[in-house]
Chains A and B, each alone.
Chain A
């Protein structure tokens, strides 16, 4: 782990500011380029959300409506530049870690205050991570998914805090930069899960460029600019208070109303533009922003411990039998690039596996023949009287999951595989996706700009999407996969860690455990009057540098 000590120099800030004045390049609008003039201060940005937020407990920030608010009201110790994915000082001026990544020391800025007036010091930062790293089940507050092996904190002095880990935790630095690690005030840390809920949002106090103002539960929430904000990351062009006075977040669940309101000038920015609605915004005066989520691609996890998928030839046949290009071309747009690995091509440690991901229906049929599955009277293959019927879940949070799966089901029918799509009420669904007898193919993705992301998705005690770990008898199906994943999250040497991630990517495709579909973006629409709209590394909006030219 490299040692970084970078005091904030005013000159550096000015140069940085002028360099990035053109705004976010990774999320460059695909429509008319936004000509940046002199930023306009003042006004209210109208932002339309697709869903209502459910909690402002920072580890719950993975849900986009939650994360969209948290990203603007809290700051993090470290800033991960969304374009380079490099780290910059934010609340911490500098940091260092020991060689085996079991101890991290952060040196904090001494001029930062929370919006309730209390100062940011080492104690409050330590308390934040004690909660996020250990959780508190009695208050139903969960551990942050981003933090592994957390043990304890130590306050050295007012501006120095040390975190210790029970095992190497090389992903911790990036974890401190995620929304899940947003730093909140002592008064906020005392809240229980109810206290972080809608209706009580103004009790969530951070050091961020905005604070929560008016709130109407489930309908709207206002973010008010903090006039005295002065600790932005150095690569932001705006080093002071946000340009806008406020951001009005309005929940507008109906897709056509969000798009229509934007086109009619009633809104400035909208989140969640569905692929089929994108053409409506391809007109003068509007832009589409499609920042990438930089993690595990939108993909199907094949539950290989289920008898139907035990045979690698069956899994390989599924991989070869799906025309992924057709799925992307038919259901999505150019903003959804075809996946070429388990990880997105913009993710850290990405390894190109496209050679192993070709579409070959004849090969698929051969493999199934070899595996003993013969075509039955209705075109669906059978073996020992059992039909080759598989179930995949409709992933409601993922864009157009049902449409994509329907097409995939048609493609697989051509090679004799019957793919059913599970559409169920939330209770049955939650049960079914954890049961390989009910759901053999699991449709999901996960965004996080760290090498740990691959472990998050597949490791037994994390999301366990392959159900490699069977909770009923506490057994592991593929011990090698577990070992490979552990290496990613514990290898302290950065180069070896990348190799460990690539070994996992190779292994998952080699074993045909995963069928990656596309690199998932978050798609936003905005009027061209909006400038400087930014996104953090997993595509949640950042409004501190945004201004509106009315």
Chain B
């Protein structure tokens, strides 16, 4: 229990550091959203008018005070307003998050299924050529740019074959292609790790012993190798979540889906600090939670780690 509490405290500290770093970096960038929006020559505002607008946004308050104010706001669930559109950031995030969660989770699940299927088939295949071909696939997948894949999938399945619509599709219909687009590049490193683990563990003495006792290839893989291969894969899966966020930016833009990725893309291009601050914190939160879950899962999966945990109270990812 103390271990868990310690890990949670550590996670909170990481979040605070991420928040502070984001704040400092965003402030250090040249210009700000108010300037981009109101100093735009198209509005023809006088310096006095701009000064009054800056004042009404509280942009000229000392940075330390702004930091304190923003931090308190975040703790109280008040993320401020988008400078570009004026919409409350909490509203933007609340509207976008479910879309992105569904997309990311479906993409992730599909990626895991594809990776496991690929690795198992490649390992168990009786035909050497099939195994070789399948083993080459992840390297191909990993080097496919997400935006290119998305556009190709849209062109083929939607525009040429007319199987799914990308414009105002149904909820499920609208997920098919984006999920595929997102899953392919995520599945590749997972499959690579699994394949390598299968090979390494398959070469270990205990596997030879099990085989010697007459176990079939499938039995060995399912009962012995797979369980042992899960640990590195799980670590990788946690790290890959970053890919999901990056992938969502591209996928949501290509498919015109509302979501965190789109918000991020728009906020970055307009330097919309309040939105960016919230997005950074959200991403950090997701990372921290996933890594926490992964760490807590280790002892569950591997009995050897349980004693280590009690002994040293720390397992690093």
Interfacial residues, chain A to chain B (CB-CB below 8 A): 46, 48, 52, 54-55, 62, 135, 137-140, 142-143, 145, 192-200, 216-220, 248, 250-254, 256-257, 260-261, 263-264, 266-267, 425-431, 433-434, 444, 446, 456, 461-465, 471
Contacts and interface: CB of A to CB of B under 8 A. Distances in A.
Contacts of B56: 137-140
Interface in B250-273: 253-258, 262-263, 266, 269-271
Interface stretch (B8-16, B38-46, B282-290): B38-46
B52 A137 contact: yes
B253 A254 contact: yes
Residue among A55, A140, A251, A465 with max Cβ neighbours from chain B (10 Å): A140
Contacts of A197: 82, 85-87
A240 B33 CA distance: 43
Nearest to B262: A218
A62 B44 CA distance: 13
A219 B151 contact: no
Nearest to B52: A137
A52 B92 CA distance: 13
B46 A461 contact: yes
Given A145-B43, A199-B91, A427 B271 contact: yes
14 contacts: A137-B56, A145-B42, A219-B256, A250-B168, A252-B167, A254-B256, A260-B155, A429-B31, A430-B35, A430-B39, A444-B41, A446-B42, A464-B41, A465-B41
B243 interface: no
A427 B263 CA distance: 18
Nearest to A216: B258
B57 interface: yes
Contact of B95 (A195, A216, A264, A266): A216
B87 A427 contact: no
Residue among A197, A257, A433 with max Cβ neighbours from chain B (10 Å): A257
A220 B258 CA distance: 8
B271 A425 contact: yes
Contacts of A192: 86
Contact of B30 (A138, A217, A257, A428): A428
Contacts of A433: 41
B256 A140 contact: no
A148 to B, nearest CB: 10
A463 B42 contact: yes
B45 A142 contact: yes
Given A194-B81, A197-B86, A431-B30, A217 B269 contact: no
Residue among A193, A218, A248 with max Cβ neighbours from chain B (10 Å): A218
Interface stretch (B158-166, B185-193, B309-317): B158-166
B256 A251 contact: yes
A427 B30 contact: yes
A463 B46 CA distance: 10
A219 B262 contact: yes
Contacts of A444: 41
Contacts of B57: 140
B86 A194 contact: yes
B21 interface: no
Contacts of B44: 145, 456, 461-464
A445 to B, nearest CB: 11
Interface string B23-52: 000000111100110111111111101001
A217 B31 contact: no
B41 A434 contact: yes
Given A143-B45, A198-B87, 20 more contacts: A137-B49, A139-B56, A142-B45, A194-B87, A217-B92, A217-B258, A218-B96, A219-B258, A250-B167, A250-B256, A264-B159, A266-B167, A425-B29, A425-B30, A425-B271, A429-B36, A431-B35, A434-B41, A446-B42, A463-B44
A431 B50 CA distance: 14
The contact size tier of chain B is 35 or more
B71 interface: no
Nearest to B253: A253
Contacts of A251: 256
Contact of B41 (A200, A220, A463): A463
B39 A217 contact: no
Nearest to A464: B41
A426 B92 contact: no
State the 7 A-B residue pairs at the shortest beta-carbon distance, nearest first.
A427-B31, A219-B258, A197-B86, A194-B86, A462-B44, A137-B52, A252-B256
Nearest to B265: A253
B86 to A, nearest CB: 4
A61 to B, nearest CB: 11
Nearest to B250: A254
Contacts of B130: none
B151 A257 contact: yes
A251 B256 CA distance: 6
B240 interface: no
A257 B31 contact: no
B165 A266 contact: yes
A220 B271 contact: no
A195 B258 CA distance: 21
Interface string B77-105: 00001101111100110011000000000
Contacts of B39: 430, 434
B53 interface: yes
Contacts of B180: none
Contacts of A260: 154-155, 158-159
Contacts of B253: 253-254
B270 A426 contact: yes
Nearest to B255: A257
Contacts of A135: 49
Nearest to B41: A463
Contact of A266 (B32, B42, B46, B158): B158
A253 B256 CA distance: 6
B86 A196 contact: yes
A426 B36 contact: yes
Residue among A48, A197, A251, A434 with max Cβ neighbours from chain B (10 Å): A197
A185 to B, nearest CB: 19
Contacts of B41: 433-434, 444, 463-465
B45 A266 contact: no
B256 A199 contact: no
Interface in B276-300: none
Contacts of A256: 151, 154-155
Nearest to A260: B159
B158 A264 contact: yes
A267 B165 CA distance: 10
A196 B270 CA distance: 18
Nearest to A220: B168
A216 B162 CA distance: 25
Contacts of A431: 30-31, 35
B53 A140 contact: yes
A430 B151 contact: no
Contacts of B35: 427, 430-431
A135 B253 CA distance: 35
Nearest to A217: B95
A46 B256 contact: no
